[in-house]
């Protein structure tokens, strides 16, 4: 019986083997036919942008290639891109895959050769800007030496003279922007957009006539961080060019955040000019504070007068986050260099016209701010 059982399975196994052989032969024939008929097969898979922007692949001569492998310009240019719309992208970039969007930039200087990731031996942490004329070159040279390699130097030139500054070695690695007869706030609005300077923790926007014999930039940054100041300035030497009590240096402390002013000047001890106040002469902004302040600068009000009284709107609580650093102090030399860039009209000296414009702008800024508040509050009531 055992022999009969084994001989009964033999035909069945022979049939199964034959089927396998036939199927294999048919597969080879079909594959050969496809290979001859379609030497190059291209196809694209589009997935939702939240998962993957696109996947382009090509099958050529039996080799699977990705779009990244095919580096020829003509092939890249003729590629069909997937249909993309990403509403969370920055405005104007909705048609781009998120992975290629670079919403912010910086002022780091880069080489024209080599590997991009090897361009920067060190990234500056802070940005220092001066609005300068060439006549103040020796003074600015002294000031710049107070800032270490952690500070990127940027010069705004209001007299159009830039290349002459290369007599100083540091100037060759500084950034130079030149437009004649413009103020630092005109420059700041146009060239210091928050998305351009977001790489820097603090931004110094200084005048050109500041003495720094008693100032060390690295120590200043340490004190600003220690005391939580989002908007600050160095204390001013009391006997030189002082306008407000708040900015006067105090010799018995590192930092102060309030003061006493003339009778009737401060309705609230936590408000300017008794607190939450620094001047526009030598302000230092944190990255976060500058993002707000930049938006408050008006395009046509180039002198910035009145801005110092409104800075408190950009940090909370302002009387705690705005202050004066006393132990790192400066001297206002009161050099009216920008005033000479004005124009003599109606028998008035150039500096007189500049001063009148400053005062007009202060009034205009105050009125605009009051109107903006009124309009906003009105909408809230109606809403």
pLDDT per residue as tens digits for the range 46-81: 444 444 444 443 334 444 445 455 556 556 566 788
Place of tokens 């779009």: 67
d(CA 360, CA 363): 5
Pairing between β-strand 284-286 and β-strand 202-206 as defined by DSSP bridges: antiparallel
d(CA 375, CA 367): 12
Place of tokens 């104007």: 92
Q: Where are the beta strands (DSSP E) in the chain?
A: 40-45, 55-60, 63-66, 126-132, 151-157, 175-178, 202-206, 210-211, 231-236, 255-256, 284-286, 322-332
Share of the chain residues as helix, strand and coil, in percent rounded to the nearest 5 = 40, 15, 45
Task: Count Cα atoms within 13 angstroms, Cβ side, for 48.
Answer: 2
Q: Where are the beta strands (DSSP E) in 111-268?
A: 126-132, 151-157, 175-178, 202-206, 210-211, 231-236, 255-256
Give the burial string for 257-285 (b: 16+ CB within 10 Å, else e): bbbebeeeebeeeebbbbbbbbbbbbbbb
Pairing between β-strand 151-157 and β-strand 126-132 as defined by DSSP bridges: parallel
Query: What's the angle, vertex CA 259, arms to CA 256 and CA 263, rounded to 5?
Result: 175
Contact assessment for residue 56 and residue 66, using Cβ atoms and an 8 Å cutoff: yes
Given pLDDT bands bounded at 50, 70 and 90, which one contains residue 4? very low
Adjacent-strand bridge partners of 114: none
Burial class (CB in 10 A: 0-12, 13-18, 19+), 343: exposed
Given pLDDT bands bounded at 50, 70 and 90, which one contains residue 240? confident
Express each pLDDT in 247-294 by its tens digit.
999 999 999 999 998 888 898 999 999 999 999 999 999 999 999 999
Any idea which of 3-7, 290-294, 349-353 has the lowest mean pLDDT?
A: 3-7
d(CA 227, CA 254): 9
pLDDT of 319 higher than 70: yes
Which domains does the chain possess?
A: 117-337 (3.90.550.10)
d(CA 187, CA 195): 15
Contact assessment for residue 317 and residue 307, using Cβ atoms and an 8 Å cutoff: no
Of 280, 289, 267, whose CA–CA distance to 309 is shortest? 280
The DSSP annotation for 43-77 comes to: EEE---TTT-S-EEEEEETTEEEETTT---HHHHH
- Mean pLDDT of the region 173-191: 97
User: For residue 235, what pLDDT is reported?
Assistant: 97
* Selected residue with higher pLDDT from 226 and 69: 226
* Selected residue with higher pLDDT from 288 and 31: 288
pLDDT of 297 higher than 90: yes
Q: Determine if the pTM surpasses 0.85.
A: no
User: For residue 76, what pLDDT is reported?
Assistant: 59
Any idea which of 104-108, 200-204, 347-351 has the lowest mean pLDDT?
A: 347-351
Average pLDDT, the chain: 85
Of 247, 342, 244, 243, whose CA–CA distance to 302 is shortest? 342
CB atoms within 10 A of CB 202: 24
Alpha-carbon Rg for the chain in angstroms: 34
User: For residue 347, what pLDDT is reported?
Assistant: 76
pLDDT of 14 higher than 70: no
Express each pLDDT in 106-165 by its tens digit.
999 999 999 999 999 999 999 999 999 999 999 999 999 999 999 999 999 999 999 999
% of residues, the chain, pLDDT over 90: 68
Contact assessment for residue 166 and residue 156, using Cβ atoms and an 8 Å cutoff: no
């Amino acid at each position: 019986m055992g022999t009969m059982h084994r001989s009964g399975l033999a035909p069945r196994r022979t049939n199964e083997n034959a089927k396998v052989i036939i199927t294999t032969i048919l597969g080879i024939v079909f594959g050969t036919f496809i290979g001859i008929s379609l030497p190059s097969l291209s196809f694209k898979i589009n997935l939702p942008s939240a998962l993957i922007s696109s996947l382009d692949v090509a099958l050529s001569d039996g080799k699977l290639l990705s779009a990244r492998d095919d580096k020829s310009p003509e092939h890249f240019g003729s590629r069909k891109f997937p249909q993309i719309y990403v509403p969370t992208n920055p405005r104007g970039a909705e048609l781009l895959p998120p992975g290629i969007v670079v919403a912010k930039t910086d002022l780091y200087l880069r080489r024209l050769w080599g590997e991009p990731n090897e361009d920067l031996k060190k990234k500056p942490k802070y940005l220092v800007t001066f609005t300068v004329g060439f006549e103040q070159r020796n003074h600015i040279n002294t000031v710049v030496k107070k800032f270490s390699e952690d500070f990127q130097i940027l010069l705004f030139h209001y007299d159009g003279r830039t290349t002459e500054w290369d007599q100083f070695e540091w100037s060759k690695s500084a950034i130079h922007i030149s437009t004649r007869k413009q103020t630092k706030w005109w420059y700041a609005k146009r060239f210091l957009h928050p998305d351009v300077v977001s790489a820097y923790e603090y931004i110094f926007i200084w005048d050109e006539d500041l003495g720094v014999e008693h100032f060390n930039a690295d120590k200043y940054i340490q004190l600003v961080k220690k005391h939580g100041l989002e908007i600050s300035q160095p204390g001013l030497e009391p006997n030189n060019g002082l306008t407000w009590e708040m900015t006067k240096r105090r010799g018995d402390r590192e930092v102060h955040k309030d003061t006493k002013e003339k009778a009737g000047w401060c309705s609230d001890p936590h408000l300017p000019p008794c607190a939450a106040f620094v001047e526009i002469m030598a302000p230092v902004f944190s990255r976060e504070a500058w993002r707000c302040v930049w938006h408050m600068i008006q395009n046509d009000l180039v002198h910035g007068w009145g801005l110092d009284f409104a800075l408190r709107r950009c940090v909370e609580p302002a009387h705690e986050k705005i202050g004066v650093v006393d132990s790192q102090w400066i001297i206002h030399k009161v050099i009216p260099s920008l005033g000479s860039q004005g124009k003599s009209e109606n028998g008035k000296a150039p500096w007189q016209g500049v001063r009148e414009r400053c005062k007009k702008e202060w009034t205009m800024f105050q009125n605009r701010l009051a109107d903006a508040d009124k309009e906003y509050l009105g909408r809230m009531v109606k809403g």
